[in-house]
Structures are given as C-alpha cells and as structure tokens.
Amino acid sequence: MPAVLVFSARIFRKRPRATWRNELKIRSVMPLQRLNGGQMQNSRITDAHNNKRKWASFISNVTIPPLIAVLMFGLINYSLLRGFPFVAVTCITTLFAAIVPLSTLLIWETRANAKLDLDIPTRTERNRPLLFACASYLVGAVVLVAVHAPLLTTIVMFGYFIGTFFLFFINLYWKISIHTMGIAGPTTVVVFVFGYWGALLGLLLPPVIWSRVYLKKHTVAQAIMGAILGFVLTAIALSFVRLLAPINALV
C-alpha cells in the first residue's frame, strides 16, 4: 500500500514552473519556425522563377531578328565576296536589315509615347513597325540590285520583304512569333550555303521557343508556327536562286 501511494504521488506531483515555461517557449517558437520555413521555401521558388526569367529575357534579347539577320548576311557575304565588295555589301545589308527597322521602331514608340520594348507585346501595335520593316527590306533589295550585289544576298533581302509582308497579314488575326521566324529563316539560308554546318544556327530555336513561351509573349503554337513559316518562305525564295543562277554568281 505505501508503494502505491508513493507511485501515485510521483504521477500527480506538480511539475516545476521552469518546465512549464520551457514548454510554453517551445510552443510559441514552433509556429514561427513553420512560418519562417514557409517563407524560405517561397523565397527559393521566387528566386528560381527570377533566374529563369532573367535567362529567358537574355535569350530573347540576343536573338532578336535584326541581330540574327546581320550575322546571316555577314556569313553569306563572306562566302561570296572579299575585300571592299564584302565590306560595302555587308554595310548595305546591315543598314536595311537591322539599323533602319530598329531605328524606325524606336522612333515610332517614342512618338507614340509607348514603352520602349523591342518585343511589342500587343498584337495590334505591331502593324506599323512591320510595314516600316517591309519598306526597309524592299529598298535594301533595290539598292543591292543597283550595286550588283550577289544574287543570293539580293534574293534573301527580298525574301525578308516577302516574309514580313506575309507576316503583316497574319498579324491582323494572330500574333505569330517573329523571333522563331527570324531564327528558322536564316538557318535555312546558312544550311543552303554551308551545308550541314549551317544547322548549328538552328540550335538556337529550342531555347528561343522556350523563352518566348516562358515570358508569355507567345503560345507554343504561335512560336512553332513562326518557325515553320520562316522555313517555308525562305525555302521558296532560295528555290529561285537555284533556278536563276549558280550559288557563286555575283550578279
């Protein structure tokens, strides 16, 4: 009997105040730890999203169609020309394929008090810049004919005019991707000139499609259709080179 009383006394004995205080501290700290843990997880998710967005923006900015056009024209001009003719023709192609279209876009956005954005996210706002680009490509093709530039260079410049004009009418109803079109078309040209090595330029297409979709500038369908349109229209233009003259013709 005394043993039972002693055991009962141990069970029902009051716990020291220090123990209760420690438990209260632990219970008060646990919600804060859970909150901090959730905040850290949300912070990691936000950082990962920001990093992806930075990469997507970087890819989109360095693969804008005018820059790719300058690279492509430089390559095909170097394969056909040397010395001063190469420099002169490359300056003409750079002027009308990149400098004039970009300049008119920036001037138009400034006068329209629009946000300076090379992407032009709103579909209806792309119409005028597309027409300005069409005019630049057409004038560029005429100038190339006047200076007796290589036939391939001239037809590719004229192909830019046809492709952009065609794109203008599509844009009236659907916001197709100019970025992917600006990769697929030049890739077709450099493959035509350099063979399989030209396909290296096409390696830019998957990351460009990802960046445009991730940034919510286009849907997957719009990005893919832009690439298909660029390939088809460029292939049609190059077929005229086959018909009219050999690839190394200078006029």
Helix (H) or strand (E) holding 182: helix 178-194
Indicate the pLDDT class of residue 251, thresholds 50, 70 and 90.
Answer: very low
Q: How many CB atoms lie within 10 A of CB 159?
A: 24
Q: Supply the pLDDT for residue 6.
A: 47
Per the structure block, which two tokens stand in for 4? 């039972």
Query: What value does the mean pLDDT of the chain take?
Result: 81
CA pair distance 78, 49, nearest whole angstrom: 41
Q: Supply the pLDDT for residue 42.
A: 63
Q: Supply the pLDDT for residue 108.
A: 73
Ranges of H-type helices in the chain: 2-12, 17-62, 65-80, 83-94, 100-111, 127-146, 151-171, 178-194, 205-214, 220-244
Indicate the pLDDT class of residue 13, thresholds 50, 70 and 90.
Answer: low
pLDDT tens digits along 139-173: 999 999 999 999 999 999 999 999 999 999 998 88
Torsion on CA atoms 132, 135, 136, 140, rounded to nearest 10: 170
Torsion on CA atoms 19, 21, 23, 25, rounded to nearest 10: -150
Q: Supply the pLDDT for residue 70.
A: 95
Q: Supply the pLDDT for residue 32.
A: 55
Q: Supply the pLDDT for residue 125.
A: 76
Say which DSSP state 251 is in: -
pLDDT tens digits along 183-239: 999 999 999 999 888 899 999 999 999 999 988 888 999 999 999 999 999 999 888
Per the structure block, which two tokens stand in for 144? 């190339």
Q: Supply the pLDDT for residue 250.
A: 43
CA pair distance 156, 103, nearest whole angstrom: 21
Q: Which amino acid is at 134?
A: C
CA pair distance 59, 208, nearest whole angstrom: 6
Indicate the pLDDT class of residue 119, thresholds 50, 70 and 90.
Answer: low
Res 137 pLDDT > 80: yes
Q: Supply the pLDDT for residue 82.
A: 87
Indicate the pLDDT class of residue 124, thresholds 50, 70 and 90.
Answer: confident
How many CA atoms lie within 13 Å of 175's alpha carbon, on the beta-carbon side? 15
Question: Span 55-73, mean pLDDT?
Answer: 91
Percent of the chain with pLDDT over 70: 73
Greater model confidence, 248 or 29: 29
Kindly report the pTM of this predicted structure: 0.76
Res 55 pLDDT > 50: yes
